[in-house]
Homo-oligomer: A and B are copies of this chain.
Amino acid sequence: MNLNDLPTPTLILDRQRVRANTDEMRARIHGHGVALRPHAKTAKSVDVARMAAGDKGNALAVSTLREADYFLSQGFTDLVCAVLLEKDKLDVAATLADRGAELKIITDNPAVAGAISSHAGAHRVLIEIDCGEHRTGVAADSPDLTELAAAVERSGRSRILGVLTHAGHSYATRTPDAVAAVAEAERVAAVTAGHKLRDAGFETPIISVGSTPTATHGVTFDGVTEVRPGVYVFQDMFQAGIGSCSTDALALSVLASVIASHRDRGTVMLDAGGLALSKDRSTAGSKFDAGFGQIADLSGQPFPGLRVNGVHQEHGEVLVEDPELFATLAVGTKVRIFPNHACMTAAAYEVYNVVDGGVEVVDQWMRCNGW
């Protein structure tokens, strides 16, 4: 089957590019002498996870317990849930552990730390550290750190295994040097917090950091035990814009058809709108603004400057000035759209149509969506 045969809108994944992205990141992180724990939240696919983890890889990060359940059922047992859980989910976490998952959960507050300790399950716990994003986590120099660790271990069932941090503020950077500075802050926060816990008598086999930009541009990972980038498996227009990759690395696209063309209005309409692309506008206001997605031809070759300018639920509006381009985008033409944010866009689909650098569909891979 060829891309031209697929009903639109649908999701296209270039396996060749996923392989290049995942091989490159694994080589880079292993080159630093550190373990890679790919964050599976972007692809939510066992096929992608296997490529990212490598032949003997068994370690993943996940963003939901549904993902943990799914990847465990596919044989991945070394899992970190990198989003704070509320205490009602401890039962599910314990069930996953009973099924063989070495599941690590995280906490940054006394209420959940206390609930973990009181819970019947024996949980493996990391303390979440704030390394400057100020989203979640406690500061590395906060007295809360050791208090939380003590609260987790109070009943003697659950135990602390280290710390985890995420430099989400790396997304606000625009140069490799700026990313490297954030990466160093991320590393220092995690390592400092780890030392504090060790000094207070806790074991810290896991010092976990990571985001795609900091994993890409970090200079040293001394003292860190694992790195957890996520979106690098697919990359996207935002990551290309901030310098995490070139546009040649973009593995994910949405296949769409031209369903209307109005020369007098200077518009072409695609059958991929807000639901098919997501309403992510993370590139808005930047020099690399891609609207709601960069448009490319069927082979994945971008039309320079051509983007989805507006979306309705099922319509993507494209402003086209050049008459020749207008003729190229006749009604019925199929195009590919590289999204701003791969994690958001992929979530609207259950299946990846896999290509291998070309336009032949060589496989279909499933996703694990929802909560």
Contact = CB atoms under 8 A, between A and B. Distances in A.
Interface of A: 7-10, 41, 63-64, 83-89, 92, 108-109, 111-112, 134-136, 168, 257-262, 265, 267, 269, 271, 274-276, 278-281, 312-315, 317, 330-332, 343-344, 347-350, 370-371
A315 B265 contact: no
A111 B330 contact: yes
B135 A315 contact: yes
Contacts of A347: 275, 348
Number of copies: 2
A135 B41 contact: no
A350 B370 contact: yes
Contact of A136 (B269, B278, B350): B269
B85 A9 contact: no
- Complex A-B, nearest 5 residue pairs according to Cβ-Cβ distance, in ascending order: A86-B257, A84-B259, A111-B331, A279-B279, A136-B260
A271 B332 contact: no
A92 B8 CA distance: 13
Contact of A314 (B7, B9, B64): B64
A314 B106 CA distance: 14
11 contacts: A83-B259, A83-B271, A84-B260, A84-B271, A109-B260, A112-B259, A112-B332, A136-B260, A274-B280, A275-B344, A276-B371
Contacts of A84: 259-260, 269, 271
A259 B344 contact: no
A349 B108 CA distance: 28
Contacts of A111: 330-332
A86 B10 contact: no
Query: Do most interface residues of chain A lie in helix, strand or loop, or is the interface mixed?
Result: loop
Contacts of A258: 86
A371 B9 contact: yes
Nearest to A39: B313
Contacts of A86: 8, 257-259, 271, 331-332
A310 B330 CA distance: 39
Contacts of A332: 86-88, 111-112
Interface-central residue, A108, A135, A343, by most chain B CB under 10 Å: A135
B275 A7 contact: no
A83 B314 contact: yes
Contacts of A87: 332
Nearest to A370: B350
Contacts of A348: 347, 370
A313 B343 contact: yes
A343 B349 CA distance: 16
A112 B344 CA distance: 32
Given A86-B332, A278-B278, A347-B348, 11 more contacts: A41-B314, A84-B259, A86-B259, A86-B331, A87-B332, A109-B260, A109-B331, A111-B330, A111-B331, A168-B312, A274-B344
